[in-house]
Chain A
Amino acid sequence: MSIQAIEETTVKAFPAKPAAVIAFSAKARRRFDPIAIAGRLATALVPPIIVIVVMLVVWQIACSSPTASLPPPSQVWNEAYDLIAHPFFNNGPQDIGLAWRVLISLQRVAIGFGLAAIVGVALGALVGQSIWAMRGLDPVFQILRTVPPLAWLPLSLAAFRDSSPSAIFVIFITSIWPIIINTAVGVRNIPQDYRNVSRILRLNQFEFFVKIMVPAAAPYIFTGLRIGIGLSWLAIVAAEMLTGGVGIGFFIWDAWNSSRLPDIIVALAYIGVTGFCLDRLVAAVGAFVTRGTTAN
């Protein structure tokens, strides 16, 4: 495969799935006019609220018959009320609120994703900067990144002989590819002018990395981080279902084994909301850090 071909497939391959998520950028907050803000909040909140209400009603009707295999919303509310109303209860080692479980999963994500961010940006910078590193590493990355997260789990269990580091490793290995690839594309796209400026100033490698490369590639890096955090949240739930422990993923598996379907539904809502918040968090950090970088 030629370099261009790799570059093109790389650029295109990633935004394909998560593009829908990324499209909504937080650009609405500019002026501070209370009426306008209220209006904008209403336009943002009313449509989804209507949709959710309609979905709940349809669901309620669809699952009301005594033969229905899934519980309707009313049953979820009644049977899983404890989980919904008290996210932070703590009744012993295996009986804790869902917020605690989410926090434990988040802690694993934080470690795995944090490592992936550091290693990914460093490797991406290398691949973007050096043509030989790219020729050598890029094909390997392109193959490894298609391996599904859970396929790594048996290997990492064998290597680490413990469930918690294995889960962290799965997160690391899942989220690192988009970070590497996007960083590399960003570094490759640094305008020649900026490189010339750094050459005339005789910036050394470290100064170039800190003062030119990272800020110039920041929009790409944050796209990679955003895709990465989404993938790692996908992976942690799946990994915890298999490794056990006290995370939110294992809670779902446990609930399934004891036929507590309403609990599963509540847990799904927790996972969705948390994933959404993670995505928005990285996006907000990215918007803050890269302000001014893209405009020229």
Chain B
Amino acid sequence: MTAYLKLDHIDKSFARGNQVSEVLKDIRLTIDKGEFVSIIGHSGCGKSTLLNLIAGLTRVSAGAVLLEDKEVDSPGPERAVVFQNHSLLPWLTVYENINLAVAKVFGRTKSKAERHEWIMRNLDLVQMAHARDKRPAEISGGMKQRVGIARALAMEPKILLLDEPFGALDALTRAHLQDAVMDIHSRLGSTTIMITHDVDEAVLLSDRIVMMTNGPAATIGEVLAVPLARPRRRVELSSDRTFLRCREAVLKFLYERHRFVEAAE
């Protein structure tokens, strides 16, 4: 059986003038359908670049991203991204923001009533149906991120890409949204890749954690499987031995073996 998503010997370098900086080197990873994978690493290690490569927003320098054996070479709605800063269009309401995506993706295949129902179903999924006529400026940061997730889910993507989705949120809001994402993942079984720099978040949400070495020429240092049963509850897990062991493994990787050296930047 071939993998659902395959990152096949990916290199990525950026050229600026005649100076070439190698960001990612020899990334190899396969992800199964329905899996929740986190990518963790220090800032500047190229994890966002990796996500952009999977999204197709930037092109690989060498190697290939294969989704169901088809090469990814441009962005598309089957690889929906939830951006760190939500990226909702401020002149549209919550409903219109999602409608922009739904009208484009399902404009031919769904009737108007079906599209409306689909938008409302996705808003319900993130518990934002009450704010459908509000503009992004009128709702809180956590709510915006919920709408961002609803917009991505409404594209019915093959892979959901989360780019540090909770990075800009306070701890409590973040916990709520993590629960929401876990709930959605268990209900829809969506294949998900999440970029994060939060160890607890990675262990709590993921089936596997991909740990990146430091740049330049960062690569995958280690992949940790998280053998915790679902559904997971954060309060119970906080004293669970497997959870703590996984957490320790990630911390050791990040802070002992691949310590972030500012001078290397």
- Which residues of A are at the interface with B, using a C-beta cutoff of 8 A? 191, 193-194, 196-197, 199-203, 207, 211-212, 215-216, 218, 290, 292-296
Are A201 and B77 in contact (CB-based, < 8 A)? yes
Chain B residues, CB < 8 A from A197: 83, 87, 89
Among A215, A292, A295, which residue has the most Cβ atoms of chain B within 10 A?
A292
Given contacts A193-B83, A292-B135, A295-B137, whether A200 and B75 have CB atoms under 8 Å apart is: yes
Chain B residue numbers with a CB within 8 Å of A193 are 83, 85, 87
Please give the distance in Å from A61's CB to the nearest CB on chain B.
54
B150 to chain A, nearest CB (A): 14
Is B249's CB within 8 Å of the partner chain A?
Answer: no
Chain A residues, Cβ within 8 Å of B76: 200, 202
Interface string of B110-151 (1 = CB under 8 A from A): 000000000000000000000000011100000000000000
Nearest A residue to B105 via CB reads A201
Given A196-B81, A201-B101; A293-B91 close (CB under 8 Å): yes
Question: Bound complex: CA of A194 vs CA of B75, how far in Å?
Answer: 13
Contact between B83 and A196 (Cβ–Cβ < 8 Å)? yes
Which one of B57, B104, B105, B135 lies within 8 Å of A196 (CB-CB)?
B57
With A201-B101, A201-B104 already in contact, the answer to whether A196 and B75 are too (CB < 8 A) is yes
Contact with A along B92-109 (1 / 0, CB 8 A): 000000001100110000
- Whether A292 and B87, one on each chain, are in contact in the complex, defined by CB atoms closer than 8 angstroms, is no
Contact A200 B77 (CB under 8 A): yes
B90 contacts A202, CB within 8 Å?
A: no
**Which residues in chain B, 13-66, are within 8 Å of chain A measured between CB atoms?**
55, 57
CB<8 Å pairs between A and B, sample of 21: A193-B83, A196-B57, A196-B75, A196-B83, A197-B87, A197-B89, A200-B57, A200-B76, A200-B77, A201-B77, A201-B105, A202-B75, A202-B104, A203-B104, A207-B104, A211-B100, A216-B89, A292-B90, A292-B91, A292-B137, A295-B90
Task: For residue A203, give the distance in angstroms from its CB to the closest CB of chain B.
Answer: 7
Give the residue name and chain of the A residue nearest to B137 (CB): A295
The verdict on B80 contacting chain A, using a C-beta distance below 8 Å, is yes
User: Which secondary structure dominates chain B's binding surface?
Assistant: loop
The verdict on B79 contacting chain A, using a C-beta distance below 8 Å, is yes
State the main secondary structure of chain A at its contact with B. Answer: helix
Q: Given A292-B137, A295-B90, A296-B90, are A199 and B77 neighbors across the interface (CB < 8 Å)? A: no
Measured CB to CB, the closest approach of chain A to B164, in angstroms, equals 13
Closest B residue to A214 using CB positions: B91
Q: How far is the CA of A295 from the CA of B135 in the complex (A)?
A: 10
Task: Output the residue of A197, A203, A216, A218 with the most chain B CB within 10 A.
Answer: A197
Q: Which residue of A lies closest to B90 (CB)?
A: A296
Contacts of A294 in B (CB 8 A): 90
Nearest Cβ in chain A — how far from B228, in angstroms?
Answer: 31
B90/A201 in contact, CB under 8 A? no
Contact status B137-A200, CB under 8 Å? no
Evaluate contact between A194 and B80: CB separation under 8 angstroms: no
Contact A200 B55 (CB under 8 A): yes
Asked if A194 and B57 make an inter-chain contact with CB atoms under 8 angstroms apart, the answer reads: no
Least Cβ distance of B193 to chain A in Å? 14
**Closest Cβ–Cβ distance, residue B149 to chain A (whole Å):** 14
Tell me the bound Cα distance from A201 to B79 in angstroms: 10
B101:A215 contact, CB within 8 angstroms: no
Beyond A196-B83, A215-B89, A216-B91, 8 extra complex contacts between A and B, CB < 8 Å:
A196-B57, A196-B75, A199-B74, A201-B155, A218-B91, A292-B91, A292-B135, A295-B135
List chain B residues, Cβ under 8 A from A296. Answer: 90, 136-137
Q: How far is the CB of A287 from chain B (nearest CB, A)?
A: 13
- A203 neighbours in B (Cβ, 8 Å): 104
Are B75 and A212 neighbours in the complex by a CB distance under 8 Å?
no
- Complex: how many Å from CA A197 to CA B57? 10
Closest residue on chain B to residue A215 by CB atoms: B91
In the bound assembly, the distance between CA atoms of A199 and B79 in angstroms comes to: 11
The answer on a CB contact under 8 Å between B100 and A201 is yes
Q: How far is the CB of A147 from chain B (nearest CB, A)?
A: 36
Residue of B nearest to A212 (CB): B89
Contact assessment for A196 and B87 in the assembled complex, using a CB-CB cutoff below 8 Å = yes
Residues of A within 8 A of B104 (CB): 201-203, 207
Question: Bound state CA distance, A194 and B97, in angstroms?
Answer: 12
Residue pair A199, B57 in contact (C-beta under 8 Å): yes
Q: Chain B nearest CB: distance from A208 CB in Å?
A: 11
User: Once the chains are docked, how many angstroms separate the CA of A194 from the CA of B80?
Assistant: 14
Residues of B within 8 A of A201 (CB): 77, 100-101, 104-105, 155
Task: Report the separation of the CA atoms of residues A191 and B85 in the bound assembly, to the nearest whole angstrom.
Answer: 11
Contacts of A207 in B (CB 8 A): 104
